[in-house]
Amino acid sequence: MKLALTVPRYGPTGAGGAEVHAKLLVEHLASAGHDIEVLTTCARDAVTWANEFEPGRTAIDGIAVHRFPASERRDPDVYRALQQRILQLDELSFDEEKRWISNGVNSEALYRHLQAVRGEFDAFLFIPYMFGTTYWGAQIVSDRSVLIPCLHDEPYAQMKIYKELFDNVKGVMFNTEPERELGVEMFDLPDYKIGVVGMGFEPAAEYDAERFRRTYKIKDPFILYSGRREHGKNTPLLVEYFRTYKRYNKNELRLVFLGSGPLDLQPVDRKYVVDLGYVPEQDKHDACAAALAFVQPSVNESLSIVIMESWLAGRPVVVHARCAVTSHHAKRSQGGLAFGTYFEFEEILNVLLEQRELGNRLAKNGRAYVLGELSWSSCLARFDAAMRKFGLMG
């Protein structure tokens, strides 16, 4: 097939899960023989959306990337005021919702391009659902548009504009069964426009736990978090729970953070909480292998790449029981444990500390789950099946 994928940011950025997903999917679709290119903006930063890359065509890791200037006519103050109302669960009018998304990331040049080339591609993929490039772009090419929403149960998803988006696209590719169930419940989607595809995972070339410990001088056992540190990922709760844990459990367990974003640490936290910030990719794999367990406190996930990386590194995961997606993975794989309260969190950590073989068994189960159900070969087979179901592939 000849495919185009539209994503707000692409390439060497401080990417989130959707951008990582987009890049890996594009590269593996190309390897499978599809003719695919990326349509994106010139923005690097997901807050300012300032144009930092040059517009035009380039290539990143063998993939054709066409960049278009992000609109500079947006009003950040209007965007922030309306967003605050959305997060407070105020109901906006349809026109107010459109004002909100029109003052987020958009690109008139990208929309003109989509209009011009709409007949040249078999399908247009859009990821994730929340941004103007998806909302406006997918409706320009609605008869060939496939949405990869990365949907969460969050205030944005309740907005009327997204019901319009999901209604108008040709097909929707969800990452997991719980995400599909959420999408059907929220948008009343018919089966003929639904596929569960997700993405694939491969083990790193190597994992060296002792190298990580030597490099960062961490001898004590530790639990690990990697990714964005923000309220949306529930990292303040993780810090609070670990602070409480250390108050009542006199052991040497530490909490190690990788990734970006501020951490609100109290002086008492700094003895046992280690913030390494961004580290090289190989060091992240080594950290996963060295950890007692990976802790994913987020309740808003559509897939959670990091828990798959932990399983591939041979370590178990600890997830929040209120997250349907990560709990689904942990239960289906028998590769992790879930907490809903502080006391469950405390008990899980102590069980993993005292019963190391249990952690090893959980990790072995999780790794088998990723290699079996979430390999790239199975993902690409699901992709092709979904495209045939949508009537976009012969």
Query: What would the pLDDT profile of 32-73 be if each residue is shown by its tens digit?
Result: 999 999 999 999 888 889 999 999 999 999 999 999 999 988
* Cβ-based neighbours of 356, under 8 Å, separated by 6 or more: none
Q: Quick one: 188 and 284 in the same domain?
A: no
In a domain, 71, yes or no: yes
Q: Quick one: 59 and 176 in the same domain?
A: yes
Mean pLDDT of 197-213: 95
- Long-range CB pairs of 339-342 (<8 Å, 24+ gap) are 342/241, 342/244, 342/245
pLDDT confidence bin for 13, thresholds 50/70/90: low
In a domain, 18, yes or no: yes
- In this prediction, residue 46 carries a pLDDT of 83
Is residue 278 pLDDT above 80, yes or no? yes
In a domain, 34, yes or no: yes
Q: Using CA atoms, how far apart are residues 328 and 309, in angstroms rounded to an integer?
A: 16
In a domain, 394, yes or no: no
Q: Provide the number of structural domains found in the chain.
A: 2
pLDDT confidence bin for 261, thresholds 50/70/90: confident
* Cβ-based neighbours of 73, under 8 Å, separated by 6 or more: none
Q: Quick one: 187 and 123 in the same domain?
A: yes
Helix axis angle, 94-102 to 132-140, nearest 10° = 110
Q: Quick one: 13 and 137 in the same domain?
A: yes
Give the residue numbers spanning the domain of 225: 209-373
Q: Quick one: 40 and 114 in the same domain?
A: yes
In a domain, 230, yes or no: yes
Q: Is residue 237 classed as helix, strand or coil in its secondary structure? A: helix
In a domain, 60, yes or no: yes
Q: Quick one: 241 and 175 in the same domain?
A: no
Q: Are 79 and 103 in contact (CB under 8 A)?
A: yes
Task: Please compute, for residue 172, the number of CA atoms within 13 A of its CA located in the half-sphere on the CB side.
Answer: 29
pLDDT confidence bin for 12, thresholds 50/70/90: low
In a domain, 287, yes or no: yes
pLDDT confidence bin for 281, thresholds 50/70/90: very high
Q: Quick one: 241 and 365 in the same domain?
A: yes
- In this prediction, residue 273 carries a pLDDT of 96
pLDDT confidence bin for 173, thresholds 50/70/90: very high
In a domain, 52, yes or no: yes
Q: Quick one: 183 and 271 in the same domain?
A: no
Lowest mean pLDDT among 203-207, 266-270, 292-296: 266-270
- CATH number of domain containing 172: 3.40.50.2000
- In this prediction, residue 73 carries a pLDDT of 83
- Classify residue 270 by its DSSP letter: G
Q: Quick one: 385 and 367 in the same domain?
A: no
- In this prediction, residue 15 carries a pLDDT of 62
Is residue 17 pLDDT above 90, yes or no? no
Q: Quick one: 35 and 177 in the same domain?
A: yes
Task: Please compute, for residue 296, the number of CA atoms within 13 A of its CA located in the half-sphere on the CB side.
Answer: 31
Q: Quick one: 243 and 176 in the same domain?
A: no
pLDDT confidence bin for 114, thresholds 50/70/90: very high
Q: Quick one: 294 and 335 in the same domain?
A: yes
